[in-house]
A and B are shown apart, each in its own frame.
Chain A
């Protein structure tokens, strides 16, 4: 465990994967390496982040194709692309796919990849649980979509799947069963991941990284995890009741048996409103990193940003019934929820003002990432304003279930959430992949998306106010709906085109990466710790765990203040950045058990729907993997870490033995060096 600067770099000479014999295990313990099999067993938070992101983008395409089908059907009166029944399935699966299989996992990708880097950690608290979250999520995503093939069609109950409409009587195919079980599987994945990331944020901060020094992205992601933690069990209850109602005839939602159909609506929206913040807060975090970087100023009102985020997190629990103004909850409830909804706009407004104040007087650089970030603020403001109009209950009575609502929520989740995460993609792409995305193509991507987005969803405000219902499969000519529907469809295809440009950009930038200058650790002159290490990030993240002296730590390692109060450069990036060449850093060993366990869950799902024996097999797989996992030490005693350090410390990892399904990486060791680890503003670690 010594650092020898001239030893071969760990990542450039990876050990070949070797699969040591494990006489007792069915699966041999993977040893790490770079082949595709190593992705299946990886516990590296960065690779898991990349897998989340890749899978999410795939499902963005799936949901996007579904959206295009909807828009084709509605482009002109009396559309005949989809029948009414298929239309119901397609909008439901579009909504579910976009929310649960695209934007949430994309946010999870950012959370996995960047939380450890931003707080100066080498991994998350429970690396194997992290892998488990991803595999469970993926198995749930695949399960949900197999409804198209084996379930007699996708769910057709709308993304909020109101009862009793979602009962067997009105929705006889298995689509809704796949919805109920699939979302439970996805929820389990998010719950595990939330626990993991909360513990990571709270417990694995580098020395000096106090809570109020954490970058805003990490903060917003942390709040998101708390929302998930408390919201998911509520929808789990709802889904469980729905599943039992459909599969075993429990009269939870049967009005004829005296049940209350509003129970579902309450449970769903107690989850559902926090869910909208789960979708938007990660994008807020991204924007709060991108705007200061390209304004060359610290974020204005950091504390306000954090506390308004927390306030949103709390208030988000007290507004759910604004989705139910017309369901007959009574005038007192309507008044109360109307007011609370108006109040929640306040902390959101604070954030918008903070971003504007950050840009005010800054030296702005309009890179593609910055453009996406500014567009996020603008589009979200529009969506927020139409949101305030819904909070006025009498107005909402006119708007609800019309295209005005569809316009509103696409402005917040697409205009705010998706465009915000695209800012993040352009911003952090070089960090993750080691090459920049092309700015020229990026501009095309940006403008096409922004224009397409506004053409698609802007006119929906008008359509809604004209009285066009949402979730109708077609409309007759002569209501004045023709023009704006056609415009919306054209806009949707522009968005599709922008995605094509994005993919071309990735492909081209990757191909030409070698012929362009490498981005280096810090291409944007950015502010937080992930920019202090090489791009792409070495497997062990930090050569030395950084010691943090303030907010925007990395910025202060590069810049100081001279006697006249002017900002001066005190160190170049090369001087200040870590080199990523530490060897012998002790990392948790990979494992196949997370994947194995995740395979069992959809089997249980199919079993519940089709044949209980299948569920038994699934359950056995889960239990077997759980036990094999629990008795597999975190650190593989057979593992040769590939760089010849002594193995004397392996015993430290055994503490995970026993019933706990995972074990911490608290004992991850840092590379020992003789240099002082801390880096002052003026001294780099060269």
Chain B
């Protein structure tokens, strides 16, 4: 076995090539993607399953009224469409923020970071308003399986947006302090990845929950 497998592998040749490659510090990440960015991608993969589980739960339960009002009965589609549009636009401002920071244009970078956070905050504010008005109309968390699943799914998403806002504001603060420069603009890119992901998830949720009619 060894004999059969070995010769090709054993042909180590001269050690010439090793000289340069041998300095471990010189070789960057094996994939060419930085550790943190790769970690964010991997994490988002996991998040897909989290939202997948929550969306499935909602789909299973969306018509289980337990004799009371369903979330679908109290949806205000125009309102939610507007707040969805706001969130969608925040992806645009996120892109502009990244472009600002990586150009070294700190003013633009900061302005767009702030704008992104603000649009996110408008979305979360809209969600809070939506939740309270639903409760007033008789759809609370424990009303029926449908409402519990609805609030859990959209609530989880809202928490994700809020965490994104915290990250954006931290970026903003470190930019003001002069710690965020074009050299580490990758941090903005990584937060951007997260932000776009949360956006895309919302497009799914909006379509699945609000737009596809309950049968």
B33 CB to closest chain A CB (Å) equals 7
Selected contact of A567 from candidates B2, B19, B180, CB within 8 Å: B2
Are A677 and B2 in contact (CB-based, < 8 A)?
Answer: no
Asked if B214 lies at the interface with its beta carbon under 8 angstroms from chain A, I say no
Asked if B131 lies at the interface with its beta carbon under 8 angstroms from chain A, I say no
Instruction: Find chain A residues with CB under 8 A from B10 CB.
Output: 550, 556, 560-561, 681
Contact with A along B184-207 (1 / 0, CB 8 A): 100100110000000000000000
Are B2 and A683 in contact (CB-based, < 8 A)?
Answer: no
- Please measure, in the bound complex, the distance between the C-alpha atom of A575 and the C-alpha atom of B211, giving whole angstroms: 70
Selected contact of A244 from candidates B17, B148, B171, CB within 8 Å: B148
Are A678 and B2 in contact (CB-based, < 8 A)?
Answer: no
- Please measure, in the bound complex, the distance between the C-alpha atom of A126 and the C-alpha atom of B34, giving whole angstroms: 12
Are B38 and A241 in contact (CB-based, < 8 A)?
Answer: no
- Please measure, in the bound complex, the distance between the C-alpha atom of A207 and the C-alpha atom of B21, giving whole angstroms: 7
Q: Which of B49-57, B83-91, B104-112 contacts A (4 or more CB under 8 A)?
A: B49-57
Selected contact of A233 from candidates B42, B46, B66, CB within 8 Å: B46
Selected contact of B22 from candidates A260, A561, A676, CB within 8 Å: A676
Are B29 and A666 in contact (CB-based, < 8 A)?
Answer: yes
- Please measure, in the bound complex, the distance between the C-alpha atom of A194 and the C-alpha atom of B43, giving whole angstroms: 9
Instruction: Find chain A residues with CB under 8 A from B9 CB.
Output: 549-552, 556
Contact with B along A613-657 (1 / 0, CB 8 A): 000000000000000001000000000000000000000000101
Those of B1-45 within 8 Å (CB) of chain A:
1-3, 5-10, 12-19, 21-25, 27-31, 33-36, 38-39, 42-43, 45
Selected contact of A298 from candidates B2, B148, B190, CB within 8 Å: B2
Instruction: Find chain A residues with CB under 8 A from B7 CB.
Output: 561, 565
A209, A676, A683 pick with most chain B CB within 10 angstroms = A676
Q: Smallest CB-CB separation from A565: which chain B residue?
A: B3
Are B31 and A203 in contact (CB-based, < 8 A)?
Answer: yes
Selected contact of A659 from candidates B6, B24, B144, B191, CB within 8 Å: B191
Q: Smallest CB-CB separation from B15: which chain A residue?
A: A678
Q: Smallest CB-CB separation from A207: which chain B residue?
A: B21
Those of A231-255 within 8 Å (CB) of chain B:
231-234, 236-238, 240-241, 244, 248-252, 254
Main secondary structure of the interface of A (DSSP, over half): loop
Contact with B along A560-579 (1 / 0, CB 8 A): 11000111000000000000
Asked if A9 lies at the interface with its beta carbon under 8 angstroms from chain B, I say no
Selected contact of A670 from candidates B1, B23, B46, B180, CB within 8 Å: B23
Are A244 and B152 in contact (CB-based, < 8 A)?
Answer: yes
Asked if A329 lies at the interface with its beta carbon under 8 angstroms from chain B, I say no
Are A236 and B50 in contact (CB-based, < 8 A)?
Answer: yes
Those of A192-246 within 8 Å (CB) of chain B:
194-196, 198-199, 202-209, 229-234, 236-238, 240-241, 244
Are B142 and A259 in contact (CB-based, < 8 A)?
Answer: no
Asked if B47 lies at the interface with its beta carbon under 8 angstroms from chain A, I say yes
Selected contact of A229 from candidates B38, B45, B184, B190, CB within 8 Å: B45
Q: A252-B149, A658-B174, A666-B29 are in contact. Are A263 and B60 (CB under 8 A)?
A: yes
Instruction: Find chain A residues with CB under 8 A from B180 CB.
Output: 658
Q: A233-B53, A251-B142, A545-B22 are in contact. Are A259 and B30 (CB under 8 A)?
A: no
Selected contact of A240 from candidates B49, B52, B152, B171, CB within 8 Å: B152
Selected contact of A561 from candidates B3, B36, B46, CB within 8 Å: B3
B102 CB to closest chain A CB (Å) equals 15
Asked if B103 lies at the interface with its beta carbon under 8 angstroms from chain A, I say no
Since A196-B39, A251-B145, A545-B27 are in contact, a sample of 5 more A-B pairs with Cβ atoms closer than 8 Å, ordered by chain A residue number, is A252-B149, A549-B12, A666-B28, A676-B16, A678-B21
Which 10 A-B residue pairings sit nearest by Cβ, starting from the closest?
A678-B18, A677-B22, A545-B24, A550-B9, A237-B53, A664-B35, A233-B50, A659-B170, A670-B24, A203-B29
B-binding residues in A (CB < 8 A): 120, 122, 125-126, 191, 194-196, 198-199, 202-209, 229-234, 236-238, 240-241, 244, 248-252, 254, 257-260, 263, 267, 270, 296-298, 300, 361-362, 542, 544-545, 547, 549-552, 556, 559-561, 565-567, 630, 655, 657-660, 662-670, 672, 676-683
In the assembled complex, 9 residue pairs joining A and B whose CB atoms fall closer than 8 Å, in A order, are A126-B39, A195-B43, A203-B31, A233-B50, A237-B54, A547-B21, A565-B7, A669-B24, A677-B18
